[in-house]
Amino acid sequence: MKNRMSLSFKPSPMLITNTNRPHLFGQEVIAIEYRLKGSTNLKKLRNIMITWVWENIEIGYVQGMCDILAPLLVILDNEALTHACFTKLMKRMIHNFPQMGSNMDENLRTMALLLQIIDGDLYDHMCHDGEVTSLYVTYRWFLLDFKRGLCYSDVFSVWETIWSAGHVASSCFNLFLALSLLYYYRDIILDNNMEYTDIIKFFNEMAEKHQVQKLLYIAREFIETIRDLLKPR
């Protein structure tokens, strides 16, 4: 594995053309350069990403993949191990990408149902007339497991919780975390009568400022609430 990962080759444009947007790969690498602390790690990231694309040529590169890969490389600091973990992680996350499946639509439908159960007032505000447009604020959260809205230390904590929750709590912990984010700021959303664009702007401004441990606690409480409701009476 180490030998295979250490191969040095120039990336062919064909590796990135499945998205019809070959510039995105380079742009995303540049955007995360300051997190990787040096050209050596940037080279590792490129090697891993291009190797994965080559192994999954029918999928190609999709915008956002570097965002998922970069934290793994930061924490593991090993090219071969990061490649293995990224490959495993993509088996779960690939169907969130619009080109690859319908997981995102299912996430939004489930979010609407959960919100209706947990907070009827917030549901009525965000999903009036049965529309779920305002819930598209959660799209990027689900696409990248909340990576772009959190600082790196919080990303590691959230990812570890989401991945382990499938074994001890719920395989849908990401949905409950998204629900906790909306609920935590419900008063701000309702008091200011925020519409979709306002909510998007608000969460963009709140990026890397969230009280993540509180949000994780609320998410766990919501899981227990739903479990209690589902218990036979």
Which tens digit of pLDDT belongs to each residue from 156-208?
A: 999 999 999 988 889 999 999 999 999 999 999 999 999 999 999 999 999 99
Give the model's pLDDT for residue 98.
75
Each domain of the chain, given as residue ranges in start order, spans 2-95, 103-230
Q: Are 45 and 88 in contact (CB under 8 A)?
A: no
Q: In CATH, which of 3.40.50, 1.10.287, 1.10.8, 1.10.10 is domain 2-95? A: 1.10.8
Question: Can you tell me the distance from the alpha carbon of 177 to that of 199, in angstroms, rounded to the nearest whole number?
Answer: 17
- Answer whether residue 3 shows pLDDT above 70: no
As given in the structure block, the two tokens for residue 142 are 């689900």
Question: Can you tell me the distance from the alpha carbon of 195 to that of 21, in angstroms, rounded to the nearest whole number?
Answer: 31
| pTM of the complete model | 0.83
- Angle formed by the axes of helices 65-76 and 152-168, nearest 10°: 90
185-219 residues labelled b (16+ CB within 10 A) or e (exposed): bbeebeeeebeeeebbeebeeeeeebebeebbebb
Give the model's pLDDT for residue 105.
87
Q: In CATH, which of 3.40.30.10, 3.40.50.300, 1.10.472.80, 1.10.1660.10 is domain 103-230? A: 1.10.472.80
Question: Can you tell me the distance from the alpha carbon of 141 to that of 150, in angstroms, rounded to the nearest whole number?
Answer: 10
Long-range contacts of 156-165 (CB under 8 A, 24+ apart): 156/71, 156/75, 157/212, 157/213, 157/216, 158/212, 158/216, 159/71, 161/216
Which tens digit of pLDDT belongs to each residue from 70-123?
A: 999 999 999 999 999 999 999 989 888 876 766 888 999 999 999 999 999 999
- Answer whether residue 13 shows pLDDT above 80: no
In 3-state terms, what secondary structure has residue 21? coil
In 3-state terms, what secondary structure has residue 75? helix
